[in-house]
Amino acid sequence: MPLGLHNKRVLITGANGGIGTALVSAFLAAGAQQVVMAVRNTETAAGFAREFGSRILVLPLDLTSVASVTDLALHASPLDIVVNNAGAMTLTTPLAQDVEAQFQQELEVNTFGLLRMAKAFTPALEKSAGVFIQINSIASLISDGSLSTYSASKAASFSFTMALKATLKSHNIRVISVHPGPIDTPMAASAGFSDIAEPPIIVADAILKALTTNDFLVFPDKMAKEFGDAFQPFANAYLNDL
């Protein structure tokens, strides 16, 4: 691979399940020197640590805490690639009694968490001319009633990801925005998407491929590709200039 993953250190948030686990396995298989698994409960990543030894470093992370993110950056650096994969989703309609509280919770993880990660890891990635990868969602482009707060938080996350693409260019950091559709994870199951969900490895493979191209937007699965095809006219006219 042109990126030369064999000597790269990669950090993945939310690395203990679903897409995160697939990403860890894919980066290790692609030859990454070390993968830092950033998780809320470090015991959930113990299996990887036992299997891969020094190629795995497990560190705690609470995306809702500035102190936790800052501490992670201190102990995880130096780094070449950061994949901000951790996310939160609730099923809440716009008229629900608790919609504000649920939206705030998702903003703390999905949107403010992204900003905390970007600010904390810019120094390390600038030193390595690295890559910041944000796992967004096709929900950032469309919404329905039950996914209202999740979609809104992901739309905000995508907006900031576009802004980061432009901002971090001057720091010699590349930004990639990934927009999966229904992926076979507990989160997708809770939303009732199990019947149409695709395996997490599809997302990991698409990210590894994107690292060999100049693509900013990644639509990994069948449903996501359909959205991506419709979104490309806007992307070609605007995003490539950022």
Lowest mean pLDDT among 46-55, 105-114, 142-151: 142-151
Give the confidence band of 1 by pLDDT, cuts at 50, 70, 90: very low
Sheet holding 81-84, edge to edge: 56-60, 34-39, 9-13, 81-84, 131-135, 174-178, 217-218
Q: Are strands 9-13 and 81-84 parallel, antiparallel or unpaired?
A: parallel
From 10, 26, 6, select the one nearest 59 (Cα to Cα).
10
Residue 211 predicted with pLDDT over 70: yes
Mean pLDDT of 16-25: 94
According to the model, what pLDDT value does residue 194 have?
67
Question: pTM score, two decimals?
Answer: 0.94
More confident residue, 60 or 189: 60
What is the share, in percent, of the chain residues with pLDDT greater than 70? 93
Give the model's pLDDT for residue 145: 78
The Cα–Cα gap between 108 and 115 comes to 10
How open is the CA angle 231-236-242, to the nearest 5 degrees? 110
Q: Does the pLDDT of residue 2 top 70, yes or no?
A: no
Under DSSP, is residue 135 helix (H, G, I), strand (E, B) or coil?
strand
Total domains present in the chain:
1
Overall average pLDDT of the 127-155 stretch? 93
Choose among 84, 37, 13, 24: nearest CA to 208.
Answer: 24
In this structure, are strands 81-84 and 56-60 parallel, antiparallel, or unpaired? unpaired
- Enclosing H/E stretch for 76: helix 66-76
132: nearest Cα among 84, 179, 88: 84
**Terminal-residue alpha carbon distance, the chain:** 26
Is the predicted pLDDT of residue 38 greater than 70, yes or no? yes
> Residue range 73-97: average pLDDT?
94
Please state the rounded mean pLDDT for residues 78-107: 94
Q: What is the pLDDT, as a whole number, of residue 196?
A: 72
| 208 pLDDT higher than 80 | yes
31 has a pLDDT exceeding 70: yes
**pLDDT the model gives residue 163:** 97
Q: With cut-offs at 50, 70 and 90, classify the pLDDT of residue 135.
A: very high
Quote the strand ranges of 136-213, DSSP E.
174-178
pLDDT tens digit sequence for 162-196: 999 999 999 999 999 999 998 877 665 666 666 87
The parent domain of residue 19 ranges over 5-241
Q: Region 83-110: what's the mean pLDDT?
A: 94
pLDDT band at 143 (very low <50, low <70, confident <90, very high): confident
Q: What is the CATH number of the domain that holds 51?
A: 3.40.50.720
